[in-house]
Structure 1
Amino acid sequence: MNKLEKQQSIIKRQNLNESDYFQSILQESYRLNLLSVTEYETIQVQSLQLLAKQVQRYTGGESSSVKVETAQSIMQSILYVIGSYLKTFPEAELGLAALKQKPLLELYQHGKKLITVQLASAKQLLIDIQTDGFITDNQAYNDTIQNAIPPFFTDYDVNFAAHDTPASIDYPLCNDKMDLIGIEYISNYLETLCLENKFLDLFPMPAISRLLQGFNDHHKDLLINIFGLVLTNALGCVLLGKTITLLNIEPKEREYLQQKLLNLSHTELNNRLHTTLRQLCIDLELSDRSLKNHMIGIIPDLSVRLKNALENNRLESIFISFKEYPLQSVLFEEGNKMDDELFRSIANEIKECRYVSDKIAIIQKEIHSISDFIDILGSYCIFDDEFTDIFQSLGDMELALLLKMIPSGNTIDSDIHFTESEKEWHNRLNTFFSELRLPRQKRIRKLVGNIVFILDRTS
């Protein structure tokens, strides 16, 4: 019994290859004398027997031989499927025990069932991200979600190429697990992207847009991780004791941080960042442990980069300042309404869009007066939950202007002066506003109270 207890932690997970888990657990177990020569050879024989079965299936029973490259790929697929199942055991030794005690075919079948569940879960995650995820004009993000990942679910072959990842993904994540392959990589990628999007949803879209513009004028075309940029500036805001959701770090504020942080040792700086991150989570009222752990993952790299920037007086490479000129993300200005023909053309273009992100892009590009925007909301070209996504893309001032223009209260009565479409966006705006975090509600209410003009809707 003592010997068994000592052996329970001999195999270290960090010593195992995540993309070739089956083979690495065999080799490590053999190296540590936890697997006899006979046991090792028995498992290898079963692997070859499984390969023979799969080759027969691959050829439709017409042949027992295939090209060497094809056979190697099928074998890799078999080992990947089994390895996926072995990873479900909390201890590597338990996985090894299963290899010793159960037929390899049984483990393979368990692995296929697991991958089937992972596929369904990942597919739903992608749908959720496409319909309710973060909205951005970054090309790599949009291409990855709309064009690169979807083909994976039609091209993935669990029977003969489970280890392949038929998807070309450009948008980078923070701490992306590049050692994973197949459905494991796609599942992890989508789960992580959901966490990053959840964090980004806590910040106003105009602030994020201005942050990206401050980072680079060509941010739309760059392979950048938006989560990392926002989190870093949010940490800077905490260090400065300013409102987190502002996200902006002024040049003079960077000078203050330079003086405040310069003399800290690497350990002290690392500790300071962890303390700051804990305060950020408190301020944002974050309770999602997975998201917290993902945020913690940025600290080691950020600590090194921050220390280097401090020593070279290049803190602008870490904490970004907004550009002084206004951006397109500040959508609306007072101005003349567009003519009826142009308005109808834009409204029809918005109506024909399949994705709400495309509708938002058109609104940001073409609609520049609050009157035109209000008319768009009531023109039967925006539907159902799309209203929520569009309201989410607005800043506090835009929301305040909209709230100023609708009847007060949480529900809209059947006033004959409003169409059904107008009543719908009124109701949805009130619902959206009621679900905002209280500090932001207070800010917007204050803005509403300060708006003293009334737009002339009859002109």
Structure 2
Amino acid sequence: MENFIINQEESLLGLVSKEHYFQSMLQLLYSNKLLSTKQLEKVQFQLIELLEETVSYYTRYESSSVRVEVAEQIMLSICFTIGLYLKQQSTMKDNIALIKNAGVKQLFKEGEKILRDKVELCKSLLNNIYETRLNTETYAYTDTIDYGIPLFFKEYDTRFASHDMPGSIDYQLAIDVRNLTGVECLEEYLNRLRVENKFCAFFNGEDIEALLKGFKKDYIHMLINIFQLVLTNSLGCVLVGKAAVLLDLNEGDRVYISSRMEGLSSEQIEKLIFSAGAKLCDELSIIDEELIKYIREVSKEIIIQLENALEIDKLEKVFITLKRSEDNIFKYEDGEVLTNSEFRKITEEIRACKNPEEKITIIREGLHSLKDLIDTLGADCIFEDEFIEIFKSLNEFEMALLIKSTSTSKAFDNEYGSESEKEWQRKLKEYLEALDASRKAEIFRIAEGLEV
């Protein structure tokens, strides 16, 4: 019987309102006969006594009465503060014991200590936000951090309106804070914003701005969540075999993603996205469990958007192409291209060589254009692991040129090009996948800034 009672008590814990914790708990305990009428009346009487004392303090002891609306707000504040203390208890049984035995005034005093600690914690969290903030022109983001949240600390009344939420928070999180108010709401908001900032710190600031511009030209005026846009495109990059930090996706990438998902069920798409999320975390060396959980939760919303976009053939609304300013684009002009006879002579020389180092030397000395290099890779004069040795000999800029010259969806598509073209492209993909994450990311970043 005792075990049954304990289980009954604990089963009620999930029914308690997070926003009106103390009031909700009293109602549940009374309706489930865990608090007698006499015990409830005792708590109510003590609450009224505490209200009268607080009202006197509110009027600076000049009056013992205030407008009904003011009294109601003060009572909500008292209950909110008591609720903070009760939330700290590990079991419903502990809460019941406190309500029955500790006295409302004692519960309120303990709640005030927690309230003060939470205010200081929020100040610390805001300082962390300042340190990790994104360099963005988005008004909602900057105004919330610079003006809206600091206003909370100026106007928050811990004694008479601890349940209130002053300040102005316009920037939307990827996961909204619900069913919380007062300093609890701010604490949760700042914690989630901190997690979002931490994730975005893995990416190049200019890439993020280019992503926002690609989303909407007038993005600075929009109420958009930066984290979700960054996560979405990063997942897209993983799906097409690009570095997760790259962010940029083109039409060919979208065609490739669409073909991968064609005919898949909702469960299969979910599995594919969750797998991409796990790979993303592995590639970026993300070990923070809170961030990993947050990524997974937001991915659920991305999956819904993705399924809707696939249904109406509007994948460009989900996976965005970065829009860079002309100042960030490097226009590459190719070198002099060999004549047909010169090209045949070079490729025959390469074919005759048995040593990869000799082939690399001929390529270095005989080829002076990107076009000739690509044609040589597909000319049946380089074989097997010789491709890898040639890729190793190229610097990051040269590798970026090679990648940029080939659309991702075509470069690794088995239906594209001749057999020799497919071979060198498969070897290119193999080589890129074996690179460490930082070098791979740098090569792709250079590639996205090139116009070939």
**TM-score of the aligned structures, taking structure 2 as reference length:** 0.71
Count of residues in Structure 1 that have an aligned counterpart in Structure 2 = 344
**What is the aligned partner in structure 1 of residue 279 from structure 2?**
279
Q: For the Cα contact (< 8 Å) 2:152–2:168, is it kept in 1?
A: no
CA separation of 1:16/1:447 partners in 2, compared to 1, >3 Å: closer, same or farther?
Answer: closer
- Cα 1:10/1:447, change in 2 over 3 Å: closer
- For 2:42 and 2:329, locate their aligned partners in 1 and report how far apart those are by CA, in whole Å: 68
Q: 2:438 aligns with which of 431, 437, 440?
A: 440
| Distance in structure 2 (CA, Å) of the matches to 1:329 and 1:150 | 36
Q: Which amino acid aligns with 2:95?
A: G
Give the aligned CA root-mean-square deviation in angstroms.
2.5
1:211-268 per-position Cα deviation (integer Å, ceiling 9, x unaligned): 1111011111111100010011111111222111111121121112112223222223
SS in 1 for 2:270: helix
Aligned to 2:25: 25
CA contact (8 A) 1:25 1:96 kept: no
Of 292-301 and 158-167, more deviation after overlay is shown by 292-301
2:55–2:65 contact (8 Å) kept in structure 1: yes
What SS does the aligned partner of 1:258 have?
A: helix
Distance 1:30 1:328 in 2: 68
In structure 2, runs of 5+ residues without a counterpart are: 332-395, 398-435, 447-452
Q: CA deviation at 1:105?
A: 0.9
User: 3-state SS of the aligned residue for 1:257?
Assistant: helix
What is the SS of the residue equivalent to 2:144?
helix
Give the equivalent residue in structure 2 for 1:250. 250
In the TM superposition, residue 99 of structure 1 has moved relative to its aligned partner by 1.4
Alignment of 1:27-426 (within 5 A): 27-323=27-323, 326-327=324-325, 330=328
Superposition deviation, residue 289 in structure 1: 1.2
Considering only CA atoms, is the larger Rg found in Structure 1 or Structure 2? 2
CA distance in 2, matches of 1:52, 1:259: 69
Shift of 1:444: 5.8
| Matched-pair contact (CA < 8 Å) for 2:246–2:444 | no
TM (norm. structure 1) is: 0.70
Contact 1:122 1:187 (8 Å CA) reproduced: yes
Going from structure 1 to structure 2, the CA distance change for 1:187 and 1:312 (only over 3 Å counts) comes to: same
1:408 maps to: none
Conservation of the 8 A alpha-carbon contact between 1:8 and 1:93: yes
Segments of 5+ residues of structure 1 without an aligned counterpart are 334-395, 398-437, 449-459
The structural deviation recorded for 1:327 is: 1.5
| Alpha-carbon contact 2:132-2:197 (below 8 Å) kept | no
- CA shift in 2, pair 1:249/1:447, >3 Å: closer
Q: How far 1:77 moved relative to its partner?
A: 0.3
Cα deviations by residue, 1:12-42 (Å, 9 ceiling, x for unpaired):
42x3222111111122222333222222222
Q: How far did residue 117 of structure 1 move?
A: 0.7
SS of residue matched to 2:49:
helix
One-letter amino acid of the counterpart of residue 267, structure 2: T
Please report how far the alpha carbon of residue 54 of structure 1 lies from its aligned counterpart in structure 2 after TM superposition. Answer: 0.5
Task: Tell me, yes or no, if the aligned pair for 1:78 and 1:108 is still in contact at 8 Å.
Answer: yes
Percent of aligned pairs with the same residue?
A: 36
**Deviation of residue 291 (structure 1)?**
1.3
Paired residue for 1:6? 7
**CA shift digits 1:326-380 (9 cap, x unpaired):** 41773999xxxxxxxxxxxxxxxxxxxxxxxxxxxxxxxxxxxxxxxxxxxxxxx
Shift of 1:178: 3.0
Query: Aligned partners of 2:239 and 2:148: how far apart in 1?
Result: 38
SS at match of 1:149: helix
For 2:143 and 2:88, locate their aligned partners in 1 and report how far apart those are by CA, in whole Å. 32
| Contact 2:243/2:440 (8 A) holds in 1 | no
Seen in structure 2, the aligned counterparts of structure 1 residues 139 and 5 have a Cα distance that, compared at 3 Å, is: same
1-side partners of 2:440 and 2:143: how far apart?
37
Paired residues of 1:11 and 1:93 also in contact (CA < 8 A): no
**Pair 331,205 (structure 1): closer, same or farther in 2 beyond 3 Å:** farther
Tell me if the contact between 2:210 and 2:322 (Cα under 8 Å) persists in the aligned partners: yes
Structure 1 segments (4+ residues) deviating >6 Å: 445-448
Cα pair 1:162 1:183 within 8 Å, conserved: yes
- Report deviation, 1:4: 3.5
Matched residue SS, 1:150? helix
Match of 2:345 in 1: none
1:66, distance to aligned residue in structure 2 (A): 0.5
Find the aligned partners of 1:261 and 1:446 in 2 and give their Cα distance: 24
